[in-house]
Amino acid sequence: MILISWKEEARDMLKPPMERHGRQHTIMPTNVNYRANIWALKEEGCTHLVVTTACGSLREEIQPADIVIIDQFIDRTTRRHQTFYDGSSTSPAGVCHIPMADPFCNKTREVLIEVARNLGVKCHPKGTMLTIEGPHFSSRAESLMFRQWGADVLNMTTVPEVVLAREAGLCYASIAMATDYDCWKEHEETVCVDNVLKTMKENANKAASILLTAVPHISKMDWTETVKNMKTVVQCSVMLPKH
């Protein structure tokens, strides 16, 4: 994930990439401390969070090694903290009912889509990500059901990351890298870690090119109104306790 602060007075325009699962991939998706990661970025003054994520394709037209700039999600997780406003002694006051009709920052997404097209990278400009709990891959019955639900790709990390980023008022966008056809597609090799890693390596250069080109574009744009609107949405979504 790439962390961006677009303001001129910010200490860094581009911070180093972070590894959700740890540098040695020792943290399974359920145990990633999404809240700590997002809160730390907010405290650092970041305004944007642009991430990459490996995913399985649920559509014939989204081929392994394709890029998808996702715009919607379906949540199938069950064991994750999805809000900062949980009533604990250290949490912000109140309950946050954050709107999620448009969970990803469309202005940031448009930059990524334009950059991908200019670079000649095959890119699907929208798609619905279904996030499963993991760490096991989905069964064939589940994979077929997810297709019927209208999901286009699936992974294990978009939720709650996108929800928490919205609560934190960050402009969040995701570059999804298709690594396989999951297990719904007949006559295709069943998804496995080796094949996922192989395709991820092939995709890494594409994602890196998009990020390295997009970040300067983002930093030169005026985000004053967008950031202000994000913060206003959060403020209006918090119900404070009555005294």
Catalytic positions: 180, 182
Q: Is the dihedral of CA 218, 223, 228, 229 positive or negative?
A: negative
What would the two tokens of residue 113 be?
């889509």
CA distances from 111 to 107, 115, 212 (A): 7, 6, 12
Based on the number of CB atoms within 10 Å of its own CB, is 62 exposed (0-12), middle (13-18) or buried (19 or more)? buried
| Cα separation, 146 vs 57, whole angstroms | 11
Closest CA to 165 of 16, 40, 80, 78: 40
Give a three-class secondary structure readout of 68-96: EECCEEEEECCCCCCCCCCCCCCCCCCEE
Q: Provide Rg for the chain, Cα atoms.
A: 18
Quickly count: other Cβ atoms within 10 Å of residue 153's Cβ. Answer: 29
Q: How would you classify residue 217: left for phi > 0, otherwise alpha for psi between -120 and 50, otherwise beta?
A: alpha
CA distance 210 to 12: 19
Q: How many C-beta neighbours within 10 Å does residue 231 have? A: 12
